[in-house]
Structure 1
Amino acid sequence: MSVVESLSPRPGLRVLVTAGANGIGLAIARAFQEAGARVHVCDIDTQALAVLPDGITHTVADVSREADVVRLFQEAVRLGGLDVVVNNAGIAGPTAGIDEIDDKTWAHTIDINLNGQYRVAHRAAPLLRDSQGLLLNLASVAGRLGFAYRTPYAASKWGVVGLTKSLACELGPEGVRVNAILPGIVRGPRIEKVIEDRAAKRGISYAEMEQENLAKVSMRRMVEPTDIAAMALFLSAPGGANISGQALSVCANVESL
């Protein structure tokens, strides 16, 4: 196999993407389908699920609910097994000072962003052992940097990186690779809401907050959902066969948050 050939995933991969009906998850699902994979996604957005590209199957599921995750895997294994599981589901959580966040809001963010990834990994591990497959956990640059007024989000994403590195050590001897992708400021509705909330918290305009954020990125630009999808494809390709236990930033070099 040439180096160029090693950069493309083999056709026929069986792929599961959580929160795959919108944003980064949808970009990843589409990219795998275009590469010849069979793709199953879950999401809580039933309207978005109804307009998925033809051929992508789906389950309505919330990863914070164990029963939903059980049902998700019952339906996803109709692919005949799984080669790649993309643990993408997550929420932004609150924008507030630590003394302003209530227990329920904190717990909800952790339950989706970190416990949800555990629930998926728990069910995925036996299937990935069978296929000697790949688990991809979506974290964030907030999983390597401090993030004022976004502590539940940052804490959950640091937790995802720890989960990733631990599972890579645990599952590696059985042929399973585990990596985390750490997106930076990804263009789309979610970051727009985050910028809006942080601007309100700081008492400045949206434009000022956006420029302040970009000033902390050495390339002075946002990344696109397709940039994250490209990394997911590379890690699933033969060229990524010896990459495991890594927290890989796709962020245009975010230096601080």
Structure 2
Amino acid sequence: MLRALAVAALLVVAGCNAPTSDPAPDTATMTPASVPESTATGPEVFAPGVTGDGVTTPTRLARAHARTLEATSYTVNQTLVQRFDNGTLRSRYVTHARFAPEQGRFRASLQQVDREEGDRVRRRTRRFGDGERAYVANTEANDTTYRLLRYPDGEPRPPNSVYVRNLTNSGAIERLFTLVDTRTVGTFTENGTRYVRVRSSESATLPPLQNVTLAATISERGVVAQYRVEYDVVRTGRVEATIVVSYTDLGTTTVDRPAWVDRVNETAS
């Protein structure tokens, strides 16, 4: 069970939805808020679920993170890089996504590089949700296809079926901070908002993952503004992986309609 949880947490945290055009079945400036005060003698509270001892209540932190993001617009950047033990790139996935407060309105792109039979293969997937429908553009080998996402029966898929929780990754964040013990290493204030930095107390072993480390920056409102996970895993040889995720431009992100949507033939099945 521990192995399954660990792998699921790290893969979902990475935002590693499948490199196809179809959605996974189910994924600045911040307004200042007062720092909660502890009424009991104990470590200082820096954010929901975070004290001077580190992340002590992952469930509370994950809920605050999701609740804050679901009420505003924001931008997500996610990068997963895997390298072989000799430093050669195995794969790189870079996701950039913008979400509006309105349910189902988003714009996202996935830039993907994979090493296949010794060669680097590049793919690009772009998605757009206008609140009612979801569109996708897939590019591979200089060829791009455009289409409206549909169910097998031909009915258009609603945009909220593409990114069910708008890449808040709250479930994965909860599991990650449950599996990896952290400690508070410092605080700082930026644009009127207080942040706390936490790091893993020591590298963890979560079979089959080894040398797992975690570093995160969390706002006083509970938004995990940035986190970085590193780990090793043995596949066909040892692979070193780095995941970096950030949430920015809360309340100021805009989602405009991309020009490529005009190339979609909405009557095609």
Which TM bucket (shorter chain)? Answer: under 0.3
- Length-normalised TM-score, structure 1: 0.22
Q: Rg: which structure is higher? A: 2
> Which structure: greater helix fraction?
1
- Length-normalised TM-score, structure 2: 0.21
